């Protein structure tokens, strides 16, 4: 049986218990939400991994993308990035490799980390042919099965890219058309072969494979906007509608799902996107890359993504895909992975400060920092900081004889008021 089947039968499995304990939530609440599809715990039945809860009442989770490209094939480097991602706070890793021995890369990443690992099987299907459009339906489903057999915990499938959404795209005024790599493969295949997307047309077969391995489906956003000018248009919302229908079919088949959301969205339209997806997909966990809130920040897109992610989280996003400083520019380095993760981790924490089920725990951390700052307790501040080493390095590089920081020294507001209150109490 799948985890969702067990949950529907009232069974609190070890995975559900582990998630409940980690999140500080009642196990019966977690079970009920898994049964309804409001929480996903991606965990392939062929792999032992740390259960991670994504969705309602859960802390905001972070995914890190790693993987080779055809221009840069260094398996050792990608394995190290996966390990570093976990070390710096990622709750899941996606292997997006497109160059080299994809089976070997995936196997090594699966062995390197004990957190959920996701993939995009259509990349391998496309790599099996000289030209992307020559891959077959069998290639696509065989890739899904291969990944499932190897223990992949969740796979992105762009099943919402179908003939209906293609027609909406034809009639749109989009500047960037399709920027999702998997979405572009699917679109090109449909145009070349004159047929509907196999992952949509044969979705029941996809569900059979996923159910056999209790593998979670991440329903991909192949029509996501690739620039601010394309946000909130008909192709995007047509895909949302289709994904909502597929969520319903997945739940009926006892297959866990979460839904991927848009990429570039201005601040004032983020609420519309998030609430629209949540409503159309019946509260399924929502997974976003960003969204990026401006197009003019190459080199700083981890910042634009964190801004968008924080706002999206305020309206219900559950799972953030980190963005690195190299987004739109190059394959990320190890340092890019670290920086992107820390910034995304900060966004996730700001979401948890206002998130139902997580507020109390998140506020406890911020309150502890407030007391440490009031008391000028630098060691405690470093301990609580999101990047202790960086905070310590900055302070140590600009020394002061004062016990305050070098910005104010003896003119520190906290220090002056603390001493003033101390003198007042002494007089009394």
Residue 177 pLDDT exceeds 70 = yes
Determine which of 233-237, 315-319, 363-367, 416-420 has the lowest per-residue pLDDT on average: 416-420
Per-residue pLDDT averaged across 74-86, rounded? 97
Q: Model confidence at 165, in pLDDT bands (50, 70, 90)?
A: very high
Dihedral in degrees, nearest 10, Cα atoms 12, 37, 139, 235: -170
Residue ranges of the annotated binding site are 65, 94, 123, 158, 180-182, 221-224, 260, 264, 287, 328, 405, 408, 412
Q: Model confidence at 141, in pLDDT bands (50, 70, 90)?
A: very high
Residue ranges of the annotated binding site for substrate are 65, 94, 123, 158, 180-182, 221-224, 260, 287
Q: Model confidence at 262, in pLDDT bands (50, 70, 90)?
A: confident
Q: What pLDDT score does 399 carry?
A: 81
| Segment 91-121, tens digit of pLDDT | 999 999 999 999 999 999 999 999 999 999 9
Measured from the Cβ of residue 28, the count of other Cβ atoms closer than 10 Å reads: 12
Q: Model confidence at 428, in pLDDT bands (50, 70, 90)?
A: low
Q: What pLDDT score does 421 carry?
A: 87
Count the alpha carbons within 13 Å of 332 in the hemisphere toward its beta carbon: 33
| Segment 19-71, tens digit of pLDDT | 999 999 999 999 999 999 999 999 999 999 999 999 999 999 999 999 999 99
Structure pTM? Answer: 0.95
Q: What is the residue whose two structure tokens read 């192709």?
A: 235
SS3 400: coil
Measured from the Cβ of residue 94, the count of other Cβ atoms closer than 10 Å reads: 25
Percent of all residues in the chain with a pLDDT value above 70, rounded to a whole number: 99
Q: Model confidence at 402, in pLDDT bands (50, 70, 90)?
A: confident
Q: What pLDDT score does 424 carry?
A: 58
Q: Rg of the Cα trace of the chain?
A: 23
Check: CB of residue 281 under 8 Å from CB of residue 245: no
Nearest to 85 by CA among 56, 59, 53, 61: 61
Q: What is the residue whose two structure tokens read 């070390």?
A: 87
Residue ranges of the annotated binding site for Zn(2+) are 264, 328
Q: What pLDDT score does 425 carry?
A: 56
Residue 86 pLDDT exceeds 80 = yes
Check: CB of residue 125 under 8 Å from CB of residue 102: no
DSSP state of 72: B
Residue ranges of the annotated binding site for [4Fe-4S] cluster are 405, 408, 412
Distance of alpha carbon 34 from alpha carbon 67, whole angstroms: 30
Q: Model confidence at 423, in pLDDT bands (50, 70, 90)?
A: low
Distance of alpha carbon 187 from alpha carbon 248, whole angstroms: 24
Domain with CATH 3.20.20.540 in the chain: 40-356
- Per-chain mean pLDDT for the chain: 96
Q: What pLDDT score does 418 carry?
A: 86
Q: Taking the domain 40-356, which CATH number applies?
A: 3.20.20.540
Residue 260 pLDDT exceeds 70 = yes
């Amino acid at each position: 049986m799948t985890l969702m089947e067990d949950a529907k039968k009232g069974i609190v499995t070890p995975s559900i218990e582990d998630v409940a304990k980690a999140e500080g939530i009642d196990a019966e609440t977690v079970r009920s939400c898994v049964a309804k599809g409001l929480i996903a715990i991606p965990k392939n039945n062929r792999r032992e991994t740390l259960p991670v809860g994504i969705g309602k009442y859960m802390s905001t989770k972070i995914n890190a993308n790693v993987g080779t490209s055809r221009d840069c094939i260094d398996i050792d480097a990608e394995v190290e990035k996966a390990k570093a991602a976990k070390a710096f706070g990622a709750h899941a890793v996606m292997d997006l490799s497109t160059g080299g021995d994809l089976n070997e890369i995936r196997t090594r990443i699966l062995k390197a980390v004990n957190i959920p690992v996701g993939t995009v099987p259509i990349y391998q299907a496309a790599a099996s042919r000289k030209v992307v459009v020559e891959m077959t339906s069998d290639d696509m489903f065989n890739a899904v099965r291969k990944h499932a057999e190897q223990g992949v915990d969740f796979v992105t499938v762009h099943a919402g890219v179908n003939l209906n959404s293609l027609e909406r795209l034809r009639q749109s005024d989009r500047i960037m058309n399709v920027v999702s790599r998997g979405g572009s493969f699917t679109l090109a295949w449909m145009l070349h072969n004159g047929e509907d997307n196999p992952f949509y047309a044969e979705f029941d077969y996809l569900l059979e494979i996923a159910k056999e391995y209790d593998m979670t489906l991440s329903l991909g956003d192949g029509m996501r906007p690739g620039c601010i000018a394309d946000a909130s248009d008909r192709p995007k919302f047509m895909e949302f509608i289709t994904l909502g229908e597929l969520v319903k079919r997945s739940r009926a088949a006892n297959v866990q799902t979460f839904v991927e959301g848009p990429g570039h969205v201005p601040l004032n339209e983020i609420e519309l996107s998030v609430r629209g997806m949540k409503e159309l997909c019946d509260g399924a966990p929502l997974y976003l890359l960003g969204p990026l809130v401006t197009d003019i920040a190459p080199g700083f897109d981890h910042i634009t993504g964190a801004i968008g992610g924080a706002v999206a989280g305020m309206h219900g996003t559950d799972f953030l895909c980190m963005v690195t400083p190299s987004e739109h520019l190059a394959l990320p380095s190890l340092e890019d992975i670290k920086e992107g993760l820390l910034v995304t981790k900060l966004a996730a924490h700001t979401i948890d400060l206002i998130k139902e089920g997580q507020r109390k725990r998140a506020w406890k951390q911020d309150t502890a920092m407030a007391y440490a700052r009031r008391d000028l307790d630098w060691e405690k501040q470093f301990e609580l900081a999101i990047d202790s080493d960086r905070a310590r390095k900055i302070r140590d590089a600009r020394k002061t004889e004062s016990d305050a920081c070098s910005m104010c020294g003896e003119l520190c507001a906290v220090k002056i008021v603390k001493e003033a209150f101390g003198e007042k109490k002494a007089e009394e």
